[in-house]
């Protein structure tokens, strides 16, 4: 799964990942080291004229038909079921997105004190990437939102958890966010991922803090026991 993630690169670096208009080039975003569910995040969708569009929304999908914000967890969606589940079905059909990031966290249970030990997971050289996501707009609540798709974990992530977020290969970006891409083809695109390239290391438990939204500073991604 993906319970928290990071987006620490400059906007210039993120901008280069997508095909955005010049009007997006001046955007200035702060580095974020501990993004938790329900927080607002940036995500990318298909735009006009062959360009891609940056949107902002709540990381906790609120379906367009919902009368209230769902109380059950909506920050992740199982890719095997999302196209058929009522909560995600409409978004999978025509509102697919890319969620920029450069790392995420997963937890294991400590044998010493039964506490939650966090791990920071990233691609080689900490290069930025995109989660495969879904988005929605709810007109009743006037909420734009998104969720991250997950799949069964494989090496090396299965050492930490049974699930992992899907990190799309850039070659799949255009087709993934194109509303004209069929559901069947979109499912196939989810196989084009970079998840086998992931690396990880232990970080301190300050990441676990939820006080006032949780800690958010560069030290969170520092190795617990640096070489």
Q: What does each C-alpha distance from 94 to 142, 185, 227 come to in angstroms?
A: 19, 12, 46
Give the separation between CA 158 and CA 186, rounded to whole angstroms: 24
Backbone angles phi, psi at 62, to 5 degrees: -115, 105
Q: What does each C-alpha distance from 64 to 24, 81, 132 come to in angstroms?
A: 26, 18, 19
Contacts of 53 by beta carbon, 8 Å cutoff, 6+ apart: 20, 44, 45, 46, 47
Half-sphere exposure of 101 (CA within 13 A, CB side): 29
Give the separation between CA 101 and CA 131, rounded to whole angstroms: 7
Q: Which residues are catalytic?
A: 2, 106
Per-residue b/e over 189-221, b at no fewer than 16 CB within 10 Å?
Answer: bbebbbbeebebeebbeebbeeeeebbbeeebb
């Amino acid at each position: 799964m993906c319970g928290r993630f990071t987006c620490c690169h400059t906007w210039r670096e993120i901008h280069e990942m997508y095909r955005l208009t010049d009007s997006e080039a001046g955007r200035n975003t702060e580095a974020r080291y501990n993004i938790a569910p329900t927080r607002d995040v940036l995500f990318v969708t298909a735009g006009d004229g062959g360009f891609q569009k940056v949107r902002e929304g709540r990381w906790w999908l609120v379906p367009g038909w919902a009368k209230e914000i769902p109380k059950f967890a909506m920050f992740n969606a199982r890719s095997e079921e999302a196209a058929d589940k009522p909560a995600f079905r409409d978004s999978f059909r025509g509102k697919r997105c890319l969620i920029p990031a450069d790392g995420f966290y997963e937890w294991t249970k400590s044998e010493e004190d039964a506490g939650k030990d966090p791990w920071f997971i990233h691609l080689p050289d900490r290069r930025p990437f995109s989660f495969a996501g879904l988005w929605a707009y709810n007109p009743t609540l006037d909420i734009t939102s998104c969720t991250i798709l997950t799949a069964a974990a494989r090496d090396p992530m299965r050492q930490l958890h049974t699930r992992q977020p899907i990190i799309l290969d850039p070659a799949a970006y255009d087709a993934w966010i194109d509303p004209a891409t069929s559901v069947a083809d979109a499912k196939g695109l989810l196989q084009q991922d970079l998840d086998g390239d992931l690396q990880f290391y232990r970080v301190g438990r300050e990441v676990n803090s939820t006080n006032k939204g949780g800690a958010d500073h560069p030290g969170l991604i520092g190795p617990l026991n640096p070489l």
